Structure formats: C-alpha cells, structure tokens
Amino acid sequence: MQGKCVILGGGGHAKVLIECMRTQDGIQPDGILEQDETLVGKTVLGVKIMGCDDMLEDLKEAGYDTFVVGVGQIRATPFRKVLFDKAVSSGLTPLTVRHGSAIVSPTALVEDGAQLLPGCIVNAQARIGRGGVINTHAVVEHDCEIGEFAFVAPNATVLGAAIIAPGAFVGAGAVVFQGVRVGENAVVAAGAVVRHDIPAGGLAVGVPATIKSRPVE
C-alpha cells in the first residue's frame, strides 16, 4: 500500500486524474496543492486543496510518498516539468496514472509519472516518456515515441513509429502520420493532419497541416 499521494494543481485535468486514480487498485489522492491561494480549503471531487505549491518540500514529513502533476493546459508543459522536478527533489515519487479502461500493450514502455486517461490506446512497443499525457480516447500506435512531458490531447491519433518530442503538444482530434517527428515543444493544432516533420517550437495547423511562422509561446 502506498503512502499518501498529492496532486499538484486542482483544475479540470486534476478532476479527470482523481477519477482515473479511483479506478486503480490501492491508489487514492489524499490532497491537492494549488498555485492559486484563493482556492485553498476548497475541495475537488472530495479531495482537499491543502495549500500552495510552496508546501511541497514539507510533504514528505507529513506522510506523502507520491505525486501526480494535475496541470493540463496547453501552455503549461514547461510548468508541468518544473512541478515534476520540484516534487522529485522534495523526495516524492511520481505515480503513473492509468485509467481502468486504457488499453496498453504488454510490450509498450510507460515511464514513471505518465498519465493514460480513459479509453486511450497505447499499442505495441510504443514508449511513453516520463510525465507524458495520453488523454481521453487518444491512440498511440505501435513503435511511437512520446517524449517526456509531451501531451496527446483527446481523440488525437499518433500513427506508427511517429515521434512526439519532449514537451510537444498534439491537439484534440489531430492525426500525426506514421514516422513523422513533431519537434520539442512544438504544437499541433486541434484537428490538424500532420504529414511532414514539425520543427522544434513550431505550430502546425490545418488539413493537411502547414507550419505557421509564429511559434506558440
């Protein structure tokens, strides 16, 4: 049985995570830390917001062993990494969240702190990096590499052997063709169909996707 688990961030993504964790045997969220101090004392699906992120370094002494990053917004990828690293240096261990309905190949490799949300599919020999998110009903096909802290939004499809580099974001319903590489911190817009590589920090939009000159911050 694990010690206590804290969720870092108490917004909409955290709600989904709480419900996912409740489908996993022996795992339950015990408390939340938030950036927004006006939310302290409130609850999210019955889990209390105990304080702000500056409490993180005291949690180990308070009986917490594990953490989940509960921040999910598109521009939050760098922040998710900062929170993750801060939690690890506070002595906490990242928990991998996997909804009971996620289909994960026995030959896939899922690194610590990844999040596999309801109905997602991770196929043969795919790799999901540390802190990566495969959101509701997203499909990650065989041999794909999803880099650390990358985010695959609901209903997106990443076809065989594609690479989603660390920190990249694939928007809802987008399709990334087989073998394509989406570069570090790049963004694929919702509904885009990506047939060619996207450079680091680039923004790919439309069907077929074209690269917008202005990178998303």
Ligand X SMILES: CC(C)(COP(=O)(O)OP(=O)(O)OC[C@H]1O[C@@H](n2cnc3c(N)ncnc32)[C@H](O)[C@@H]1OP(=O)(O)O)[C@@H](O)C(=O)NCCC(=O)NCCS
Nearest approach in angstroms of CB 189 to ligand X is: 3
By beta-carbon proximity to ligand X, the closer residue of 161 and 172 is: 172
Q: Provide the mask over 158-187, with x wherever binding to ligand X is found by CB under 6 A and - wherever it is not.
A: -------------xx--------------x
Among 3, 51, 119, 191, binds ligand X (CB under 6 A): 191
Q: Provide the mask over 94-133, with x wherever binding to ligand X is found by CB under 6 A and - wherever it is not.
A: ----------------------------------------
User: Hey, which residues between 136 and 155 contact ligand X (CB under 6 A)?
Assistant: 153-154
Nearest approach in angstroms of CB 58 to ligand X is: 31
By beta-carbon proximity to ligand X, the closer residue of 42 and 75 is: 75
Q: Tell me, rounded to whole angstroms, the distance of Cα 94 from its chain centroid.
A: 12
Nearest approach in angstroms of CB 201 to ligand X is: 12
Give the phi and the psi of residue 111 in degrees, each rounded to 5. Answer: -85, 165
Neighbour tally for 161: CB within 10 Å: 16
Count CA within 13 A, CB hemisphere, residue 108. Answer: 25
Q: CA–CA distance from 150 to each of 19, 96, 103, 192 (Å)?
A: 21, 15, 19, 17
By beta-carbon proximity to ligand X, the closer residue of 59 and 189 is: 189
The span from the CA of 71 to the CA of 35, in Å, is: 10
Among 28, 42, 74, 208, binds ligand X (CB under 6 A): 74
By beta-carbon proximity to ligand X, the closer residue of 38 and 213 is: 213
21's torsion region: left (phi>0), alpha (psi -120 to 50) or beta? alpha
Element of type H or E holding 88: helix 77-89
Neighbour tally for 213: CB within 10 Å: 6
Residues that bind ligand X (CB under 6 A): 72, 74, 135, 153-154, 171-172, 187, 189-191, 203, 205-206, 212, 216
